[in-house]
């Protein structure tokens, strides 16, 4: 599990095609590798990757076809910058929100402009993910825990403060940039629970029937 608070930035140092999927070498000289063990999880642009080999300035990780089909790693290139976060420790401070590192899909930056010292982003999400995104809710974008300002159809808006922009790869975003999205896992589990033994999906009527909202009489 992760928090969505990026520790440092790294980059893809090598890409090896292996049996239909790939193995990546990720360079991250500023990440304390002495604390990393084989089998550890490191979120790389929000994707939970398992360390399969360790070097003094980075690590190697396998990327499955499932991950390639849902994330921007399908278009990975050597030199690409990455947000990195090691798995959270029990007893450590918990900032951000609960992040699994299991990417739901790829979004695209639709608009990007300055707002005083902050950066305003509008991101177009895949239509099938839109129902999980709520105004003032949480979303993880390339491994960064962010608060949704507003939602319109399948697009959502974010406000990026200067510290977040400079400490992550968000500073490099422009219109058209593709990003990894992980929606709030509470929304996913809630929908699954409400769908149990019911053919219909999540709806206002279903929420009311299960006591999550009150209806006016």
Query: Are residues 135 and 76 part of one domain?
Result: no
Query: Are residues 80 and 132 part of one domain?
Result: no
Residue 195 half-sphere exposure toward CB, CA atoms < 13 A:
10
Nearest CA among 169, 166, 147, 167 for reference residue 157: 147
Instruction: Provide the domain limits for residue 172.
Output: 105-189
pLDDT in tens, the chain (217 residues): 898 999 999 999 999 999 999 999 999 988 888 889 999 999 999 999 999 999 989 999 999 999 999 999 999 999 999 999 999 876 666 677 889 999 999 999 999 999 999 999 999 999 999 999 999 999 999 999 999 999 999 999 999 999 999 999 999 999 999 999 999 888 888 887 877 665 555 666 766 776 666 666 5
Q: Residue 61 is encoded by which pair of tokens?
A: 């990780």
User: How many structural domains are present in the chain?
Assistant: 2
Query: Are residues 183 and 110 part of one domain?
Result: yes
CATH number at residue 26: 2.40.30.20
Residue 209 lies in a domain: no
Query: Are residues 68 and 135 part of one domain?
Result: no
Instruction: Give the contacts of 179 (CB within 8 A, at least 6 positions apart).
Output: 72, 106, 107, 108, 109, 123, 141, 142, 173
Q: Which of 54, 86, 118 delimits the end of a domain?
A: 86
| pTM (2 d.p.) | 0.86
Query: Are residues 57 and 19 part of one domain?
Result: yes
Residue 215 lies in a domain: no
């Amino acid at each position: 599990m992760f928090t969505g608070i990026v520790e440092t930035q790294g980059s893809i140092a090598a890409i090896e095609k292996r049996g239909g999927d790939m193995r990546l070498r990720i360079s991250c000289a500023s990440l304390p590798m002495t604390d990393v063990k084989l089998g550890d999880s490191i979120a790389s642009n929000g994707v939970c990757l398992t360390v399969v080999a360790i070097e003094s300035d980075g690590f190697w990780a396998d990327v499955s076809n499932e991950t390639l089909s849902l994330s921007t790693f399908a278009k990975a290139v050597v030199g690409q910058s990455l947000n990195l976060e090691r798995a959270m420790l029990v007893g450590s401070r918990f900032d951000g929100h609960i992040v699994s590192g299991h990417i739901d899909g790829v979004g695209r930056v639709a608009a990007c402009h300055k707002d005083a010292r902050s950066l305003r982003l509008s991101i177009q999400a895949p239509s099938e993910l839109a129902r999980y995104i709520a105004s003032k809710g949480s979303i993880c974008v390339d491994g960064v825990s962010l608060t949704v300002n507003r939602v319109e159809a399948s697009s959502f808006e974010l406000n990026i403060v200067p510290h977040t922009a400079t400490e992550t790869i968000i500073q490099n975003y422009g219109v058209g940039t593709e990003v990894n999205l992980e929606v709030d896992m509470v929304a996913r589990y809630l929908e699954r629970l409400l769908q149990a033994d019911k053919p219909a999906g999540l709806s206002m009527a279903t929420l009311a029937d299960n006591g999550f909202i009150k209806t006016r009489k």
